[in-house]
């Protein structure tokens, strides 16, 4: 996120305290961050707090009316690469929907041309009012505006329902995508089917054969695709709760075993334009599964195994004319030759060869690197970076193939 110029607009809601974490994280990632607070926002978090976290001045309406060489709202609007409005209250939402500008924040948004991420937060009854929903739908007709949330949960008023602002981690991920794409929705109209995570092949009800895959790569693929306008179905193995919380707007289907994953992937394949098999599916499974927990003394010293059907090969065999089938090859040592062989052997359109034996590039890491290879043998290096960056680079690569 470094070198990006991000403008954060804070309206008056209790969720403003969460925005402190967002601003702090962006500043620590070496982005330039400036904050505008509405008058009511200052009742929840102070100007001093945000200026300290951002390492930059924070602005209020008092600054709006101060004499300057150039109008402040024009200067800030031209400066920003991306804007975040969080929390977006019903008041600020209504103003923007009709083009009203009566404070520094709304004037600055109207004076800018960059993408704007909207993170609404309000009481459930307020959110569900017909007037608020009309404003929400009206604003999203403008391609500049991108929506995140709101989610459902317990609100500050103790009501349980929709209206909860997106979590800081979700906003940071979306802002990273907008910084990469400039807000372009170049995957709009596409249906993506993605698998992720490891599978667990049971020995008995409490024991299984598994692997250390966390599903982070597939989640990054799903998020990046959604941020670029695609409809996404994510078939996943067991995931940590914190990762499941990052799937807003994504159709998620749990598939803990290879058999369940094969059924889900093949069942949803006909509707997909791009099919990406990022899951770490088991190669073998126990030949027999005990119906009840085996006592330790009865565990077999030699565990009979059988091969697991090859899901990505089956997907390639069943491909539709418009589909791209993409695989992943997690490798140690030399990564390209075995990945190219896998691509040819399984009839794929492209493959992502990534090392799992290099620092900050293995299972569970938020960082990775890869070589992208297509069926014609063309290669593109994705240098070390976040898994979200790799996801975007893969979509750029696939877009050139399609």
Cα 68 off chain centre by: 40
Q: Say which residues have a Cβ less than 8 Å from residue 315's Cβ, sequence separation at least 6.
A: 265, 266, 269, 275, 277, 325
Specify the length of the chain in residues: 402
State the CB neighbour count (10 A cutoff) for residue 315. 26
Structure tokens at 398: 């696939």
Distance, CA of 295 to CA of 125 (rounded, Å): 54
Q: Is 68 exposed, middle or buried (0-12, 13-18, 19+ CB in 10 A)?
A: exposed
Q: What are phi and psi of 182, to 5 degrees?
A: 70, 20
Measured distance CA(93)–CA(196) in Å, rounded: 36
Q: How many Å apart are CA 169 and CA 167, to the nearest integer?
A: 6
Task: Identify any residues that bridge with 194 across adjacent strands, giving them in sequence order.
Answer: 234, 276
Which residues are known binding-site members for CTP? 283, 293, 309-312, 328, 342, 346
Q: Say what the alpha-carbon torsion angle 254, 256, 262, 266 is, to the nearest 10 degrees.
A: 0
Q: Bridge-partner residues for 1, per DSSP?
A: none
Catalytic annotation on 157? Answer: yes
> β-strands 350-355, 367-374: how paired?
antiparallel
Cβ-defined contacts of 285-290 (< 8 Å, 24+): 285/201, 285/209, 285/257, 285/258, 286/201, 286/202, 286/203, 286/209, 289/202, 289/203, 289/204, 290/203, 290/204, 290/205
Q: Among the options 20, 114, 157, 251, which is catalytic?
A: 157
- Token look-up 């493959």 returns 351
Q: Which residues are catalytic?
A: 157
């Amino acid at each position: 996120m470094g070198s990006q110029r991000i403008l954060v607009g804070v309206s008056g809601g209790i969720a403003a305290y969460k925005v402190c974490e967002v601003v702090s994280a962006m500043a620590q990632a070496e982005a330039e961050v400036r904050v505008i607070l509405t008058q009511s926002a200052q009742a929840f978090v102070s100007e001093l707090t945000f200026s300290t976290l951002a390492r930059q001045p924070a602005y209020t309406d008092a600054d709006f009316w101060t004499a300057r060489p150039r109008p402040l709202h024009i200067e800030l609007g031209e400066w920003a690469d991306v804007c975040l409005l969080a929390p977006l209250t019903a008041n600020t939402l209504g103003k923007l929907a009709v083009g009203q500008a009566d404070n520094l924040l709304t004037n600055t948004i109207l004076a800018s041309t960059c993408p704007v991420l909207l993170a609404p937060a309000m009481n459930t009854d307020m959110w569900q009012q017909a007037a608020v929903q009309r404003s929400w739908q009206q604003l999203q007709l403008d391609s500049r505006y991108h929506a995140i949330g709101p989610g459902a949960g317990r609100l500050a008023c103790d009501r349980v329902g929709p209206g909860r602002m997106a979590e800081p981690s979700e906003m940071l991920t979306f802002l990273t995508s907008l910084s990469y794409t400039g807000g372009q929705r170049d995957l709009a109209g596409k249906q993506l089917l993605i698998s992720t995570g490891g599978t667990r092949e049971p020995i008995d009800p409490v024991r299984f054969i598994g692997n250390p895959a966390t599903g982070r790569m597939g989640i990054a693929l799903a998020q990046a695709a959604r941020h670029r306008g695609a409809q996404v179905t994510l078939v996943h193995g067991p995931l940590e709760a914190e990762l499941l919380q990052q799937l807003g707007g994504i159709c998620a289907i749990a598939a803990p075993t290879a058999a369940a994953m094969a059924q889900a992937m093949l069942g949803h394949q006909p509707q997909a334009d791009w099919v990406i098999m990022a899951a770490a599916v088991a190669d073998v499974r126990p030949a027999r599964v005990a119906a009840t927990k085996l006592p330790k003394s009865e565990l077999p010293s030699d565990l009979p195994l059988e091969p697991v059907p090859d899901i990505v090969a089956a997907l390639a065999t069943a491909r539709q004319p418009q589909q791209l089938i993409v695989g992943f090859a997690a490798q140690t040592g030399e990564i390209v030759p075995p990945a190219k062989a896998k691509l040819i052997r399984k009839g794929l359109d492209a493959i992502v060869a990534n090392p799992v034996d290099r620092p900050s590039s293995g299972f569970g890491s938020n960082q990775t690197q890869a070589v992208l290879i297509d069926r014609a043998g063309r290669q593109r290096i994705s240098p070390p970076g976040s898994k979200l960056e790799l996801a975007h680079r893969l979509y750029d690569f696939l877009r050139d193939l399609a």
